Structure 1
Amino acid sequence: MSPICPHCGSSQIRTARLHAHDGVRHILLDTPLRCRDCRHHFWKFNPVKPVLLLLAVGVLVGITAWLALEQPVVTPTAQTDSSLPHARAAAGDADAQLKLGLRYAEGDGVIQNQKEAAKWFELAARQGKTDAQYHYGLALLKGRGVVQDYRAAFSWIEKAAQRGHAKAQFDLGELYRYGTGTAADKPRAYLWFNLAASQGVEAAAKARDSLVWQLKPEQLAAMQEEARRMSLSTAAAPPTPSPPEASPPLSVTP
């Protein structure tokens, strides 16, 4: 049935425009109309709009519920001290000491604390943990949580490199290359870059190749032979290293 103008009774009705000031109820439930004869503006209830509104709300609720169900359960990363390996680390467990040092260094479950990280790295390093030797050497090299000490850093990184730690081998090459913590020695730098490159360290391969033209043929031959011998060596890992004199052991309070 065609709408009739309530003002003049005319059936010459057209749909009018919506305006922001029309109100939420009219916009959601009614259709705006205007009489062509008297220009009267009025509203007529539109039974389709409530149905569409309910459908839209239902779809929105369904999508929200689906997204909520699809989200994985996130376990909080923050952990209490009781969940960390403090007890085992304080009791002398080198693996726990290394793990605790890494957590403090990265802020994994604890407030980041480079001083605590260096303390646990040192304790594990003194028990012969290769990764800890490398990380403690880096802490000394960069002065993270400890007083910067190039000579001690060189000593610890060298220990890790001698045990086959690829990153330590690359860093040891850098120390030899620039004379940091030791006398500059480009042939030795080439040696350690070569060993690190053989383990897939791309930066080491580039550094090694950049030194080729700076060495004499006999130096290259000697360092390549030594690298080959070291890479093929099946000797057991060296004994637990003694601490450098420049870095006295840290005390640990359980």
Structure 2
Amino acid sequence: DSKKYLSYLFKAAELGESDAQLEVGYLNLIGEGMPKNLPEAYKWIKKSADQGNAQAHYNLGLMYRNGDGVEKDLNKAKLHLTAAVKGGVKPALAALKELTPQTK
């Protein structure tokens, strides 16, 4: 059931599991299974990115690009999207190319 899943997910995230941190952050970002909470989304996604999770870098890049839960910062967006590209996240390349003319 979904309550049990969320309970295990939060425990894993609190124990430092990068993919669980990303998932908790993403669920907060979109408001699935819990109320939408952008500061909480940022906190968990950043913890995951700090461990080198490429998908988390992609999500942070988009958050910085759009100003979702953080102050809009195109340079930080570029930094995180570049890390995501290096980590093999394919959609990050298109987002980075779209961003690059704005950050030169």
Counterparts of 1:94-173 in structure 2, within 5 Å, are 111=1, 113=2, 115-173=3-61
SS at match of 2:81: helix
Give TM-score, length-normalised by structure 2.
Answer: 0.92
Q: CA deviation at 1:180?
A: 0.6
Q: CA deviation at 1:147?
A: 1.7
Stretches (4+) displaced over 6 A = none
Name the Cα RMSD after superposition: 1.2
Q: Which residue of 2 aligns with 1:180?
A: 68
Identity of aligned residues (%): 35
Structure with more relative contact order (C-alpha pairs < 8 Å, separation 6 or more): 2
Query: Per-residue displacement from partner, 1:100-136 (whole Å, max 9, x unpaired)?
Result: xxxxxxxxxxx5x2x3322221111111111110111
Give TM-score, length-normalised by structure 1.
Answer: 0.39
Aligned residue pair count: 104
Structure 1 or 2, whichever has the larger Rg, is 1
Structure 2 segments unaligned to the other structure (5+ residues)? none
Structure 1 segments unaligned to the other structure (5+ residues)? 1-110, 217-254
The code of the aligned residue for 1:134 comes to L
Q: Which residue of 1 aligns with 2:85?
A: 197
In 2: Cα distance, 1:116 partner to 1:179 partner:
32
